[in-house]
């Protein structure tokens, strides 16, 4: 099937109490690994491209790779999504490039300005059959160009006005998740009370969680073992995310866990086969590690297996 929007995906996810995984893509091996996991589990997928990925890989190449994924997995519902677009111009460019979904992240702006910019993006995107995600609240941490020193929880009192005035199709909220691999120094704490209140204010409306990687310690340990330095990396426990996906959360963003699995396997390969220098030799196991990680998330976190 051709690329789809997230509208039907989210409707089914909300009603079925599961979430759709939004996995960041930067190169061929990452896309192939994600698609392989989707095939194994018969799960819908969101392939999302950040501004950093556009610059790194060139959007022409990424689009063609995703077109290849559509041909390779015609049975899977696939959406192509812009992750963290922070200007009207970048969102417009992605709409014009054939994305089926875009995110306008104006959460760094005052509330009224966030509404104005989000509304402008929505009007253009909807005119072209594209859906829009926006964000209220701020996530701490660092992920590509997204940098915040401190978090700011979403205020449930603002969500109804924001959605009504912008007409966005989904809303990312801040309940304690954080960008990057170094999310917490102590125990993870998510504000499920905020999530539940938001869902009451916005019944049947899809909620999104960013910064939701779990940072599996076996991959942190593997990276450390083979010369890396990610000591202290800690994420959101998978059981917490599964709880969120059973509520109003219909989309969960996962990126750091893929990077950790990929890097761990590459470091292990170099240690075990120091004479190897053909990229295919170390990227093949890295690709399989990505597929295994995505499959794990689909089953343990998202609950989206067998939902096509």
Q: pLDDT tens digit string along 22-31?
A: 999 999 999 9
Q: What is the dihedral of CA 156, 159, 161, 164, to 10 degrees?
A: -150
Prediction pTM value: 0.93
How far is the C-alpha of 81 from the C-alpha of 132, rounded, in Å? 9
Confidence of residue 152 (pLDDT cuts 50, 70, 90): confident
Q: Is residue 308 part of a domain?
A: no
Angle between helices 156-166 and 111-127 in degrees, nearest 10 = 40
How far is the C-alpha of 273 from the C-alpha of 298, rounded, in Å? 32
Q: Which two tokens stand for residue 134?
A: 């926006």
Q: What is the CATH number of the domain that holds 277?
A: 3.20.20.70
How far is the C-alpha of 116 from the C-alpha of 106, rounded, in Å? 9
Q: Is residue 307 part of a domain?
A: no
Q: Is residue 305 part of a domain?
A: no
Which pLDDT tens digit goes with each residue over 110-130? 999 999 999 999 999 999 999
Mean pLDDT along residues 277-282: 98
How far is the C-alpha of 302 from the C-alpha of 10, rounded, in Å? 12
The overall average pLDDT reported for the chain is 93
Q: Is residue 267 part of a domain?
A: yes
Q: Is residue 306 part of a domain?
A: no
Domain that holds residue 158: 7-300
Q: Where are the beta strands (DSSP E) in 105-263?
A: 131-136, 141-143, 146-148, 170-173, 207-209, 249-254
Mean pLDDT along residues 166-189: 77
Domain count, the chain: 1
Mean pLDDT along residues 177-198: 75
Structural contact between residues 24 and 258, judged by C-beta atoms closer than 8 angstroms:
yes
11 CB-side CA count, 13 A: 3
Confidence of residue 78 (pLDDT cuts 50, 70, 90): very high
Q: Report the catalytic residues.
A: 83
Q: 123: how many CB neighbours lie within 10 A of its CB?
A: 12
List all residues 6 or more positions away from 11 whose beta carbon is below 8 Å from its beta carbon: none
Q: Is residue 1 part of a domain?
A: no
Q: Is residue 233 part of a domain?
A: yes
Confidence of residue 149 (pLDDT cuts 50, 70, 90): very low
């Amino acid at each position: 099937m051709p690329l789809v929007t997230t509208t039907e995906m989210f409707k089914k996810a909300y009603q079925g109490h599961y979430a759709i995984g939004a996995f960041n893509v930067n190169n061929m091996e990452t896309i192939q690994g994600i698609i392989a996991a989707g095939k194994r589990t018969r799960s819908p997928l969101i392939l999302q491209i950040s501004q950093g990925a556009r610059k790194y890989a060139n959007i022409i190449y990424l689009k063609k790779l995703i077109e290849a994924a559509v041909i390779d997995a015609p049975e899977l519902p696939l959406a192509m999504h812009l992750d963290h677009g922070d200007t009207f111009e970048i969102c417009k460019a992605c709409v014009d490039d054939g994305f089926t979904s875009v995110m306008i992240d104006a959460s760094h702006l005052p509330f009224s300005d966030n509404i104005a910019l989000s509304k402008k993006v929505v009007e253009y995107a909807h005119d072209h059959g594209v859906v829009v995600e926006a964000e209220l609240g701020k996530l701490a941490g660092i992920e590509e160009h997204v940098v915040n020193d401190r978090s700011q929880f979403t205020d449930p009192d603002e969500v109804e006005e924001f959605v009504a005035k912008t007409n966005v199709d989904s809303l990312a909220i801040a309940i304690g998740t954080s960008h990057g691999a170094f999310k917490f120094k102590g125990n993870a704490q998510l504000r499920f009370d905020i999530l539940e209140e938001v869902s009451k204010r916005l019944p049947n409306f899809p909620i999104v969680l960013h910064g939701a990687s779990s940072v599996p310690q076996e991959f942190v340990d593997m990276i450390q073992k083979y010369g890396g330095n990610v000591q202290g990396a800690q994420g959101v426990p998978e059981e917490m995310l599964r709880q969120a996906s059973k509520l109003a959360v219909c989309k969960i963003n996962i990126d750091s866990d893929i990077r950790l699995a990929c890097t761990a396997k590459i470091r292990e390969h170099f240690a075990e086969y120091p004479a190897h220098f053909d990229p295919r030799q170390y990227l093949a196991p890295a690709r399989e590690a990505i597929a295994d990680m995505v499959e794990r998330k689909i089953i343990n976190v998202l609950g989206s297996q067998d939902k096509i």
